[in-house]
Amino acid sequence: MKVAYKHLINFIPSKPSIEDISNKLFQLGHEHEVYEEIFDMDLTPNRGDCLSINGLLRDLAVFFETIPFGEIYDGDIKPYEIDFINKAPKACPHISFLKIDIDEDIKPYEGLLQGYFNDLNLNKNNFFTDISNYISYETGQPTHCYDANKINKVISLEIIKGDYEFEPLVGEKIELIGENLAFLEGNNVINLAGIMGGLDTSCSSDTKSVIVECAYFDPEIILGKSIKYNINSDAAYKFERGVDPLCHEKVLRRFIKIVENHANIKNIEVFNKDYLKFSSNPISFDEKKLNKILGTLINKNEIQNHLRKLGFSITDDKIFPPSHRADIKTNNDIAEEIARVQGYNNIQPSPLEIYSLDNDHEDSKLLEKNIQNHLIENGFFEVINNPFVKNETPNSIKVYNPLDLNRKYLRTDLENSLIDNLLYNEKRQHDSVKLFEISNVYFSSSEIKKKKILGIICSGRVGKNFVDFSKKIDKDYLINLLKSLSSGIEINPKLVPREDLDSKSKNEIVYLEIELDDLRGYGIEDKCGASKKLSNDSFIKYKPISNFPSSTRDLSFSIKDNKGYYDLQKYILNFKHHLIKEIFIFDFFINKKNNNEIKLGVRIIFQSKTATITDKQVNNIMQIIKEHTISINGVSIPGLNRC
């Protein structure tokens, strides 16, 4: 909801600054943004009563003297003998109809009405609809205007069932499905109650005789209808959150006043009926209890003062919330009102000692933690995947309202998620991928069943060092890895065939999936893992990763000097350049037949964060490395002449 600052201060004689009002609205819990002197309010769903100028003023009244309501028509009004039948009094316990006839001439808009359209940059419609929209903005009460000359039969309000056609004021004709609360003229739906009126009976610029409907609808009957029929409706938004059931007379008199300011009124009649009696449920007034909830020492007078300014009536032992505060039911609600007025930030924190009877707990996650640690120590990365999948599997659970057709079911295993993760990384030039995930999966049977499973996937080189570089991951690698955690573990990983995958690699994909509980009894949970615990100063600062391809170069060195051997390693492994992603030694060999000559293979991976790296960039860096390394005593690069 957008509210102009200048409209608010029309009702606040002290004219506080925009910052003052903004600060007070925040203190009261009314979140908003301010731009060009407009408050763009983001109100919580329990505060439908604040969706108007008057609503915000009612809350601001605790800080500023306010004019609570605009000028109203205070003359006599004749009763309106309307042909109306309310067949849904529970859904609409309070309703009024106002009939106004005016002369031909309508003055240009002035005052608040003019400001509403100009300051909020809104489009005008027709005289009565424009006033109706303004009244909703100022008072929070939606009204609906029918052209009186277009109503010829009895109007009824009823909950209709079955298929009806309805053409709203805005948008295309719709089919009403299921139960709907609607106003009918004969058998025709003329208004989808609380949502939007119909085109057939709507006002136009020619309308000089209007019937203004002003009603209270049960929020539950309105809820969800505007979404169901894709109708964007300010009225529905307000009715869903609840409006003031007792405001009709004041609102309609305000309506008349604005009409009177712009046209000559020939006739006014009003119909008003309460089908159910409104009662405000009193809450016991117990200032000790209120202070106990908040942890404060606010005296009774101050509490009374705060509440009275918010429109509450108070006796010695009872608090009566005003009719617009349907959200206030308990002492906790009252405590929140007091806290808002005091300011949450003005309540002093008070320490407490947490004591729990139920504090003696073994760490039930030791098994999971020790498996995680073992895998991490061996180069595996944990991933987390969301559970939504496209295809149904036996016993999979269906999502009734999926985000899209590719996410209709919940996965019953982790395999496809982990295969996707592996292929994603292979496409990003990773020649060694080791991943795992631990997750619950759910199955449907007579009841919902849960399993916590571990999925491990790996493929490519065993490691990035001279011992493991040439070894490829196979089933034995994974079997031995888990046996090194506990020798008794018997597992049977499988090979995932690559034929059906979008992949060019020939490396075997090894996959294991096992229920975590099946790994109990091997002593894993008894191991004292050196699990890494994040401390507050160990949060790294993330550096955005590159989305560009990398480029790889290998260098093979011949070394014939002890010191040169160590100097070369020191230089090359510590070489830094912003275009170098990784350097490691992938080959080491002592040629005993050639005076113990050492062969050292080094792999250098280049990558730019801003563009695809060029050969020229790579060659320039390689040149620096080559020049330096061959200057080290006893080091040469076969095939490269020393300059």
Partner 1 sequence: MSNLDNVDPPLISKVKGSLHPINQVKDYLINMLAQMGFHEVDGPEIESEEFNFDMLNIKKSHPARQMHDTFYVKNKGYVLRTHTSPVQIRSMLKSKPPLAITSAGKVYRKDDDATHLPMFHQVEGIYVDEDVTFANLKDLIHQILHNLFGNDVEIRFRPSYFPFTEPSAEVDILSENGKWLEILGCGIVNPIVLENCKIDSNKYSGLAFGLGVERIAMLKYGVNDIRDFYKSNLDFLNQFK
379 binds partner 1 (CB under 8 A): yes
Told to check if 24 binds partner 1 by CB under 8 A, we report no
Q: Check residue 435 for interaction with partner 1 (CB under 8 A).
A: yes
Residue 561 lies near partner 1 (rule: CB under 8 A): yes
Residue pair 444/395 in contact (Cβ under 8 Å)? The answer is: yes
Task: Give the one residue of 85, 276, 467, 624 binding partner 1; rule: CB under 8 A.
Answer: 467
Helix (H, G, I), strand (E, B) or coil at 156: strand
Instruction: Give the interface segment with partner 1, choosing from 248-256, 482-490, 539-547, 619-627 (CB under 8 A).
Output: 539-547
Assess contact for 559 and 635: CB atoms under 8 A.
yes
Which residue, 47 or 208, is less far from partner 1 as judged by CB?
47
Task: Please state the three-class secondary structure of 404-457 as a single string.
Answer: CHHHCEECCCCHHHHHHHHHHHHHCCCCEEEEEEEEEEEEECCCEEEEEEEEEE
Applying CB under 8 A, among 273, 300, 309, 340 the residue interacting with partner 1 is: 340
Q: Does residue 465 interact with partner 1 by CB under 8 A?
A: yes
Based on the shown chain and the rule CB under 8 A, indicate whether residue 177 belongs to the binding site for partner 1.
Answer: no
Binding mask 498-537 for partner 1 (x = CB under 8 A): ----------------------------------xxx-x-
Residue 68, SS3? coil
Nearer to partner 1, 152 or 631 (CB): 631
Q: In angstroms, rounded to a whole number, what is the distance separating the alpha carbons of residues 312 and 323?
A: 9
Tell me how long the chain is.
Answer: 643
C-alpha triplet 558, 564, 570: angle, nearest 5°: 105
Q: Which of residues 392-411 bind partner 1 (CB under 8 A)?
A: 397-403, 407, 410
With respect to partner 1, which residue has the nearer C-beta, 472 or 560?
560
Pattern 283-302, binding to partner 1, x per CB under 8 A? ---------xxxxx------
Is-contact 218 192, C-beta < 8 A? Answer: no
* 26 counts as binding partner 1 under rule CB under 8 A: yes
The only residue of 308, 428, 471, 494 in contact with partner 1, by rule CB under 8 A: 428
Beta carbon of residue 276, minimum distance to partner 1 (angstroms, whole number): 18
In this structure, are residues 221 and 91 in contact, taking their beta carbons and an 8 Å threshold? yes
Taking the C-alpha atoms of residue 190 and residue 165, their distance in angstroms, rounded to an integer, is 10
3-class SS of residue 117: helix
Q: Does 44 bind partner 1 (CB under 8 A)?
A: yes
CB of 635 vs partner 1, minimal distance in Å: 12
Query: Per CB under 8 A, which region of 32-40, 150-158, 278-286, 597-605 contacts partner 1?
Result: 597-605
Out of 169, 235, 339, 635, the residue judged to bind partner 1 by CB under 8 A: 339
Q: What is the DSSP letter of 148?
A: G
Q: What are residue 522's phi and psi, to 5 degrees? A: -105, 10
* Total of residues contacting partner 1 (CB under 8 A): 114
DSSP string, 489-521: -----EEEPSTTSS----S-EEEEEEEGGGGTT
Does 332 sit near partner 1 (CB under 8 A)?
Answer: yes
Rounded to a whole number of angstroms, the minimum distance from the CB of residue 307 to partner 1 is: 15
Does position 349 interact with partner 1 (CB under 8 A)? The reply is: yes
